[in-house]
Amino acid sequence: MNEKESQNYYKFYSLQDFDYNRDKAPQYRESISRAGFVNYGIDNLYPDFLVSLMNRSAKHNSILKRKTNMIAGNGWQTEGLDSIALRFLANIHNEFNLNEIVYRSAYDLEIFGGFSLQIIYSKDKKSIAEINYLPHNKIRLSDCKKYAFYSDDWNNTRKYTPVKYPLFDPKNPVSTQILYYKEYRPGVEYYSQPGYISSVNWITLEYEISAFHLNQVNNGFAPGMIINFTNGVPTDDEMREVIRQLQADFESARNAGKTMFLFSDGEDRAAKITPVQLNDSDTRFIQLNSEITQGILTGHEITNPIIMGIAIPGELGAKNEYLESIEVFQAVYVETKQMQIEKVYNKLLRFNGATTNLELKKYELDIQKIEVTK
């Protein structure tokens, strides 16, 4: 045995050493690329990160969907509209009418803080013939703010080459333009950011805690352990192979409680196994749940969680309280969002010569179907 092998040698491996696809939260920053468009975040994939947040957080997802339903779920008012406006809403040259498209616009407005539309003019350029929904996360803007680039996958632009379109300009109508709408946010020049941006850490934390509990189940709620091999120091590749094999054979809920067999060349060279007692991290994480919920609700400007379908343990709600909370949220949040969307669509409608304005229906509840704990 050489001098190196005779010494104590320790190497710590974590799951991150073997998880090369581990997600990292991207930082938001706008920068001009060589191709002429402005990067949406440091890696140009910031909107995809926002989509991943929606898919990972149950509370966040529930709030986004409920808000969207309140803003555009009931569609456009049709009473009192002239024939031009009614044809405009029908959007006959597209597979979706404007009730379906405005719902998607509202969803993107909640997720990204903006939405995008493809505007197709008539042959004589005197009217808008078709409006098509475009996923907001697939749009990038030029540094001169005159053009937009569309790609089905900004993570693979070699396969999905970005296509350049002029931004919407009714004074210079061409066959196809892109309307890019974003809410104003100080410090952000090109792209949109959602209103809940300040609660991103809380949303991420909810996912991480759920992943922690899932990992506990997969490991059979068994305590961790330290295995100290005393029969020499292998190479890094050999270490990794041993660790991979042990994880494959003994980690996961199915393997919990199984017997581990170890072989050694004499008792003095046997591997030493030291159990690591579980700490109270899971208990502390459960206690964090109320703080996480409050952080997410605050970022979404929600004062009463029951209107979003989120129950708070130990708190009861009456039907009158629920209805009052809905009315308040309708007035201070929903109507403001509806006005933003209406302004954009009415600008398009006026180009077609309509004399009436579009209005989104107010969110109405069927009181008979409301069941709230009294």
Alpha-carbon gap, residue 247 to 245, rounded angstroms: 5
Is residue 4 in a domain?
no
Task: Kindly state whether residues 272 and 153 are assigned to the same domain.
Answer: no
Q: Using alpha carbons, list the distances in angstroms from residue 52 to 63, 188, 213, 233, 372.
A: 15, 22, 19, 42, 31
Domain boundaries, position 100: 44-221+281-374
Nearest CA to 282 among 331, 230, 217, 345? 217
Give one DSSP letter per residue of 25-94, joined into a string. PPPP-EEE-TTSBEEESTTS-HHHHHHHHHHH-HHHHHHHHHHHHHHHTT-B--TT--HHHHHHHH-TTS
Least confident of 76-90, 96-110, 191-205, 254-268: 254-268
- Determine contact, residues 104/68, Cβ cutoff 8 Å: no
Max Cα distance, the chain (Å): 94
User: Per-residue pLDDT for 106 more than 70?
Assistant: yes
Task: Kindly state whether residues 140 and 262 are assigned to the same domain.
Answer: no
Is residue 35 in a domain?
no
Is residue 52 in a domain?
yes
Task: Kindly state whether residues 236 and 303 are assigned to the same domain.
Answer: no
Helix (H, G, I), strand (E, B) or coil at 139: strand
pLDDT tens-place string over residues 131-154: 999 999 999 999 999 999 999 999
Q: Give residue 77's pLDDT.
A: 96
Task: Kindly state whether residues 161 and 263 are assigned to the same domain.
Answer: no
Task: Kindly state whether residues 326 and 204 are assigned to the same domain.
Answer: yes
Q: Give residue 44's pLDDT.
A: 94
Q: Give residue 259's pLDDT.
A: 52
* Higher local confidence (pLDDT), 17 or 241: 241
Instruction: List the beta bridge partners of residue 227.
Output: 273
Task: Kindly state whether residues 112 and 260 are assigned to the same domain.
Answer: no
Task: Kindly state whether residues 271 and 287 are assigned to the same domain.
Answer: no
User: Per-residue pLDDT for 251 more than 70?
Assistant: no
- Amino acid (one-letter) located at 9: Y
Task: Kindly state whether residues 211 and 235 are assigned to the same domain.
Answer: no
pLDDT tens-place string over residues 195-244: 999 999 999 988 887 777 676 666 655 555 666 666 666 777 877 787 77
Q: Give residue 100's pLDDT.
A: 97
Is residue 122 in a domain?
yes
Average pLDDT value for the chain: 82
* Higher local confidence (pLDDT), 319 or 72: 72
Mean pLDDT within 271-288: 64
Task: Kindly state whether residues 89 and 198 are assigned to the same domain.
Answer: yes
Task: Kindly state whether residues 202 and 242 are assigned to the same domain.
Answer: no
Task: Kindly state whether residues 108 and 255 are assigned to the same domain.
Answer: no
Last residue of a domain, one of 277, 296, 318: 277
Is residue 16 in a domain?
no
Q: How confident is the model at residue 157 (pLDDT cuts 50, 70, 90)?
A: very high
Is residue 30 in a domain?
no
Q: Give residue 325's pLDDT.
A: 86
Q: Give residue 236's pLDDT.
A: 78
Is residue 25 in a domain?
no
Is residue 285 in a domain?
yes
Task: Kindly state whether residues 51 and 161 are assigned to the same domain.
Answer: yes
Report CA 115 to chain centroid distance, whole Å: 15
User: Per-residue pLDDT for 23 more than 60?
Assistant: no
Domains in the chain, number: 2
